[in-house]
């Protein structure tokens, strides 16, 4: 099998920004907070996006929304993902103080969740090209680099991938990411490689392929089948962030134990104790997937009452699986 780092690894040029690699971490609601993004970047990810942030929430100074945008100098370049369907709200969010430190704005046009679709947001925008174009143009007026993440269409009978990709480029997008599943597929099923390839063939800007990448073999297959400029890892990045090191050839001595303890330390510095513990428990639960013997220890993890107690349980969980 080809090694990704030998056959496909390269830098990405997004407007005037150059990334260290073409292996990216997807925005994932509830998970891709600052500690996780910094970890992924250290392991070789060229970019790690914030979880999706409501453009309207920023417009109305919603404090819970603003908390999702914590960052500092250790994270550069910085990429925020915005969700919504009102161009003026996007423009205000992109020009506002909350996103001032972010050089890249990614527009969510791929979320398949019913409530998002009902609001005319996320994947619903693949059926409204004029509105989607206005949103991209509104974001571009901020002067930031703009990327768009979308799906090929709502279902197999409503495939708009080539037209949508061209619209993104014509409206000023600097990069697109195509999740190779229709909205009706949600998060299941093999990615539709030919539809990602259709997007790549339709535009000149970088095209990132996303969907079902859970191994180096899957990443290589994605590149071979689509001709994409890079890959975006999603849920598997939560299970095993070391995939970034494997794909990019980044030398590391990190283990899941050292990574989760590192996440605990960063979270403790950035958040209050309650928020830090809630975050680490979610990340640890994903780290535990497919690890034998960890299920019985999960109740103890969730019952831990303070950071020190939780840290001791994490050492027991991951120290035992790695010994």
Residues with catalytic annotation? 111
Residue with token string 């990069």:
175
Q: Which residues contact 172 (CB under 8 A, 6 or more apart)?
A: 136, 137, 140, 146
CA neighbor of 79 nearest in space, from 65, 91, 64, 68: 68
Largest Cα separation within the chain, whole Å, is 56
Q: Which two tokens stand for residue 79?
A: 């990429």
Q: Which two tokens stand for residue 258?
A: 């050292």
Q: Are 138 and 90 in contact (CB under 8 A)?
A: yes
* Residues 269, 272, 278: CA angle, nearest 5 degrees: 100
Give CA–CA dist 222/228, Å, rounded: 8
What sign results for the dihedral spanned by CA atoms 120, 124, 129, 135? positive
* Residues 302, 306, 308: CA angle, nearest 5 degrees: 105
Beta bridge partner(s), residue 109: 150
């Amino acid at each position: 099998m080809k090694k990704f780092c030998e056959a496909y690894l390269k830098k990405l040029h997004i407007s005037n920004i150059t990334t260290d690699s073409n292996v990216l971490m997807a925005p994932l609601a509830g998970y891709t907070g600052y500690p996780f993004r910094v970890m992924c970047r250290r392991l070789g990810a060229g970019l790690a996006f914030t979880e999706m942030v409501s453009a309207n929430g920023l417009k109305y100074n919603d404090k819970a929304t603003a908390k999702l945008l914590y960052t500092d100098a250790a994270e550069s370049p910085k990429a925020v993902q915005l969700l919504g369907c009102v161009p003026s709200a996007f423009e205000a969010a992109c020009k506002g103080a909350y996103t001032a430190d972010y050089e890249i704005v990614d527009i969510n046009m791929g979320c398949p969740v019913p409530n998002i679709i009902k609001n005319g947001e996320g994947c619903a925008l693949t059926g409204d090209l004029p509105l989607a174009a206005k949103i991209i143009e509104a974001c571009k007026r901020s002067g930031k680099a703009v990327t768009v993440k979308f799906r090929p269409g709502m279902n197999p009978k409503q495939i708009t991938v080539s037209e949508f990709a061209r619209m993104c480029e014509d409206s000023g997008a600097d990069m697109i990411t195509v999740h190779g599943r229709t909205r009706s597929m949600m998060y299941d099923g093999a990615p539709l490689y030919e539809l990602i390839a259709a997007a790549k063939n339709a535009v000149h800007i970088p095209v990132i392929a996303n969907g079902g990448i859970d191994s180096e073999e899957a990443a290589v297959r994605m590149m071979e089948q689509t001709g994409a400029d890079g890959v975006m890892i999603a849920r598997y990045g939560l299970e095993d962030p070391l995939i970034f090191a494997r794909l990019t050839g980044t030398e590391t001595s990190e283990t899941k134990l050292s990574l989760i303890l590192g996440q605990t330390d960063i979270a403790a510095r950035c958040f209050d104790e309650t928020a830090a513990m809630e975050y680490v428990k979610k990340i640890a639960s994903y780290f535990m997937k497919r690890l034998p013997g960890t299920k019985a220890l999960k109740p103890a993890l969730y019952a831990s009452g303070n950071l020190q107690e939780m840290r001791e349980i994490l050492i027991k969980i991951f120290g035992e699986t790695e010994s």
